[in-house]
Amino acid sequence: MMEQILAQRLKSARLMKGFSMDVLCERMGNIVSKQSISKYEKGKMMPDSTILIALSNALEVSIDYFFRPYKLEFTEVEFRKKSKLGTLKIQSINEHVIDNIERYFEIEEILEVNNDFNIDFSNIIVQSSTDVKNQAKRLRDLWNLGDDGISKVVSVLEENNIKVIEIDASEDFDGLSGFINEKKPIIVLNKNFSPERLRFTAFHELGHLLLSFDEIFSQKEIENFCNQFANEMLIPSKQFIKLIGASRKEISLQELIPIQKQFGISIDALMYKAKELNIITDNRYKGYCIKKNQYPQLKEQASLSRFPKETSDRFIALVFRAMSDEIISISKAASLLCKSISEVRSEINYI
C-alpha cells in the first residue's frame, strides 16, 4: 500500500514540475537512472532514504508529501482552451490543482469546517439568453447581492462554499471547474490575469457548474451562454441600462470607465453587453472592434485594468487559525502552505 502511494505521489510531483524522467534524473545529479525512476513510479521498487531526500529536493516537495494518502476524486472537470495547452501543461495543471485542493480540504477537516454546497439549478434547462439572465438574477437574489457591483468575487464564491484555487499558469489557461467527491465545487483561476478578467472567468466557470443546457447547443454556444452569465453576474442588465441608456448611437470611453471601476468588468465586456441589449447596433459594435485594432492608443485605454486585484485568502486564514488555536504545529502549517518553517514563523503576527 505504501509503495503504491509513493508511486502515485512521485509521478504527481514530477508532472507538477513538468519534468520528464530524464530531466528528473538530471536534477538529481544522475544518482539514479531513468529505469529506477520508472520502477519507483510503478511501485516495483522503493527508494532508500538518500534517494528520497534527493527526490524531495529536486521536485521541491516535502518528504511527507510522498506518503500522503489520496482522499479526493475529481468529477465533471471542465478545461478551457484545452487544445492549446498540450498534454504536459494539462497534466501539470491537474496535479497542481489536486495538490492545492487536498491541502485545502485537509485544513477544513482538521478544523471541522462545514463546506456543504446546497445550490441546485438543475430544475431549469437553459434554452435562451433570457434563461441565463434569469438564473443570474436568481443567484444574485439567493446570495443577497442586490444590483450593485460585487467588490470581491472570489470572497463571495468562497463564502458560499465554492473553493477557489489560483495557480501560476500561462496565458493559454483560462479556467477550470468541477466537483470533488461529486458534490464539492471548485473553480481554478489563472492568478496572472487582470482583475477584470479573473472576475469574469470566475463567474464564467460558475456558470459551467450551475447551469444545465439543452442538448441542442454546441460547446461554443454553451461557452457563449457562460460568458453571458458572467457578464450578468458582474453587472445586471437593468442596472447597465439605467447607467448608459436604452438606446445610443455613440458611447464614449469616458462614460464606461466609471462603470468599469464600479463593477469590475472590462470595457470590451461592457461594449458587448451594449450590443447584446440592443443599446447599440451590431454594426456599431463591429466598428468599435475595428477602431480598437486600428488605433493602439484606444486599444491600450480600452484594455487597461482599473479594478483592484483580489486573491483567495481563505485557505491561508484557515491554516493560521488552526495554528493560532494550537490545533496544528508550525511544521504542519508549513507543510500545508508549502513553505519552510522559518518562513511561516516569520509571517506569524499575533495581535
**pLDDT (tens digit, 9 = 90+) per residue, 165-201?**
998 888 888 888 988 877 889 999 999 999 999 999 9
Please name each of the domains of the chain with its CATH number: 1-70 (1.10.260.40), 125-303 (1.10.10.2910), 314-347 (no CATH)
Residue 228 has what pLDDT?
A: 97
Pairing between strand 74-79 and 163-167?
unpaired
Tracing cell 477550470 back to the chain, one arrives at: 176
Q: Are 228 and 198 in contact (CB under 8 A)?
A: no
Looking at residue 43, the DSSP 8-state letter turns out to be T
Residue 238 has what pLDDT?
A: 96
Query: What backbone phi and psi angles, to 5 degrees, belong to 331?
Result: -65, -40
Counting Cβ atoms within 10 Å, is residue 43 exposed (0-12), middle (13-18) or buried (19+)? middle
- pTM (2 d.p.): 0.85
User: Grid coordinates representing 290?
Assistant: 475595428
Distances (CA, A) of 90 to 81, 84, 207: 10, 10, 22
Distance CA 242, CA 269 (A): 17
Residue 73 has what pLDDT?
A: 61
Residue numbers of the chain with a pLDDT score lower than 70: 72-84
